[in-house]
Amino acid sequence: MTCPNCGANNIDGSSFCIKCGSNLKDIQQSNVNIDNTPIQNEQLMNNQPEQPMQQQPIYNQTQNNYQQSINNQSNVNVSNDPLNYFAYVIAILLKPFKSFKEEEAKLCNTKTSLIFSSIVAGAMMLITLLKAMIATVFTKSMDYSTFKYKTSVDFSRLKDLDWLSLIGKNLLIFAGVVVALALVYYIVSLIFKKSVNFIKLLSISATSLIPYILLGMIVSPLIGKIWAPLSVFAMVIGAVYSLLIFINLINEDLSFDSIDLKIYFHLICLSILGSAGYYLYMKLMVSSVSTNINDILNMFG
């Protein structure tokens, strides 16, 4: 043991320094306390619980659960809002797939789907009715003095229109087209053992007809007054655009083991729809021609 006062070496355990007589007991006691301090600190650290390290993950998890519940609640509120039909129609023309997916939750609702399908069928009926009214009021006749066609306007001819047929019959036909598209795909999907939602198919059917209504039924007759080939061009674009929208929206919910099987699926559905459409069109056209012939014969009867 070294004396802190004079630096002399003393025997360990000595009470006093052999050279200067300094008290060595206090020095020994302070050394013991210093040596024991790290051990005591380490024991205290080991005995402390680790709860503070676990509190942060628990807090984060609770906060995430709370945020998720808020997001779910906001999604429920949005899905319960009514569909803005006019804005949806405009959006379909610009971004059909994205617009449908954004409103998919609302369009899968039975009430919303039926209302939207009725609006589409009603719009097609009104366009057909308006075209019939214009064709009846504005008529062209040959002026033999100038050998040119002249247009005459006579609103009294509106009373000769078959309003019941134009409104009721056409409304049923166009509503049948919307339902038939969804029904054929629904039945064939069941045959292929695919689970699909008929209400969603009905919304897809009504949605896909929007481009054809705009281009084929509105734009085509208008630009046909300028140049006839443009009328055909607009009608073809409208039909192809509607078909692409319909097939792509259908493919989103149907998964097949191979691309070939998906092609066969669409081939069967479109063949059924095309055959039925052609048959009905021929029946209506023959009926219309027969009525016109009977009217001509009655003039000479």
Q: Distance (Å, rounded) from C-alpha 152 to C-alpha 5? A: 134
> Of 100, 94, 125, 103, which is closest to residue 207 (Cα–Cα)?
100
Would you list the domain boundaries of the chain?
1-48, 49-80, 86-255
pLDDT in tens, 111-135: 999 999 999 999 999 999 998 888 8
Whether 165 shows a pLDDT value over 50: the answer reads yes
Q: What is the pTM of this model?
A: 0.65
Cα–Cα–Cα angle for 271, 275, 277, rounded to 5 degrees: 115
pLDDT band at 51 (very low <50, low <70, confident <90, very high): very low
**Amino acid (one-letter) located at 174:** F
| Own/partner pairs, 40-43, CB within 8 angstroms, 24+ separation | none
pLDDT band at 49 (very low <50, low <70, confident <90, very high): low
pLDDT in tens, 173-196: 999 999 999 999 999 999 998 888
- pLDDT average, residue stretch 68-93: 67
| Burial letters 31-67, b for 16+ CB under 10 A, else e | eeeeeeeeeeeeeeeeeeeeeeeeeeeeeeeeeeeee
Question: Rounded mean pLDDT of the chain?
Answer: 78
Q: What backbone phi and psi angles, to 5 degrees, belong to 84?
A: -85, 95
pLDDT in tens, 202-230: 999 999 999 999 999 999 988 988 888 88
pLDDT of residue 299: 40
pLDDT of residue 82: 83
pLDDT band at 96 (very low <50, low <70, confident <90, very high): very high
- pLDDT average, residue stretch 23-51: 54
pLDDT of residue 164: 85
pLDDT of residue 7: 75
Whether 289 shows a pLDDT value over 50: the answer reads no
Whether 259 shows a pLDDT value over 50: the answer reads yes
